[in-house]
Every structure is written in C-alpha cells, then in structure tokens.
Amino acid sequence: MNSDQNVKTVDIDVRTSISKSNIPKYSKILVPDDGKEISDKAINHAISISNFSGAEIVILRIIENIEKMGDTSVSVSKNKEPNTESGYKHNFEGELANAMEEKIKRCVEAGAKNKISYEIKTGNAADQVVKACEDTHYDLAVMTTSHLDSWLSSLFSDARKIISKINTPVLLVQ
C-alpha cells in the first residue's frame, strides 16, 4: 500500500468563509471585572481592540458578596428622562464608585481613545455576565481566566459556564 492511498483531500471554499463581509466589526466590548489586578489584563486587551475598531468598552463590575462592598451607598430615584430603560436612575457613591472612576481614568491614561463606561451588578458573576450578554448587544466579551490545575476545576470555572451559555464571541486572557 503506498502512502498516497491514505491521503484524503477536502475541498473547502475559502472564499465563502473568509471574506470582507465576514470580518467582525466591534462597536461594544464587555469586560467583566472583579476588582482584582488580573482583570486589568482583560481591560488592556479590550483597549487595544477598541483603539483599532473604535468600539465602546463597558466594564461590568459584579459584586457577589454585598457585605464586602465597603463604604458604598446606592440611591435610586425615578427619572423622567425617556432615555432610561426602566425610568429609574441608580447612583452609586463611595469606595466602589471611586474605584471604577479611577479605573476609567487609568484606561484613558494608558491610551484608550474611545468611550469607556461601567455598570455595577450584584449576584452570581457567571449569571450576571450571561444576562448582560443577553440584554445588550455586545460584539465581544474579553475575560480573564487563570491556568487551571485540573480538569475538574476547568469543568466548573465561571469562564466555561459563561462561554457555554452565550452567543457573544469571547476572548479569554490568561
């Protein structure tokens, strides 16, 4: 049996899968942020993509344990402006709001050229990221993940849970 008999050829029409019309265009990038330094790696990648594409970056800070919020207060008021979905205006003040404003300032100092905003949610991190992707049209989610030392850890990681439940493309940064 000669080796040529074992070779199979597959014809792929590259013109339909790789084309100018199929190149993604980014206008809104989601970056989940847990307040730890490793999340900044994801923000750095998001800034690079944003600077290239012109996309807005939305940093999503999720508070899983509200008791650990520190000196932060939340006020809610009815807003008569028609541009708010719920009609309610949420105002965060204190340590958490200051930390998010400082993070945005550092992004601008690092060279971010486009709009950067943040949202603060409470609850399970994976669930909140999935909900954000379902509720808002994000073109890309940029998240961090750490090297996992076992298949069992990777099976239950937040990143795996999120990726399996959303249709938004995800860039994982280690």
Residues 18-70: tens digit of each pLDDT: 888 888 999 999 999 988 888 899 999 999 999 999 999 999 998 887 666 55
Contact 71, 93 (CB under 8 A): no
Mean pLDDT for 85-100 is 70
Predicted confidence at residue 151, as pLDDT, reads: 52
Residue 159: band (very low, low, confident or very high) from pLDDT cuts 50, 70, 90 = confident
**Max Cα–Cα distance, the chain, nearest Å:** 80
User: With 90 as the cut, is the pLDDT of residue 4 above it?
Assistant: no
User: With 70 as the cut, is the pLDDT of residue 153 above it?
Assistant: no
In the chain, the amino acid numbered 114 is N
Sign of CA dihedral 161, 164, 169, 174: positive
| Token pair recorded at residue 35 | 């307040």
Predicted confidence at residue 95, as pLDDT, reads: 81
Burial class of residue 61, CB neighbours in 10 A (0-12, 13-18, 19+): buried
Q: What is the pTM of this model?
A: 0.75
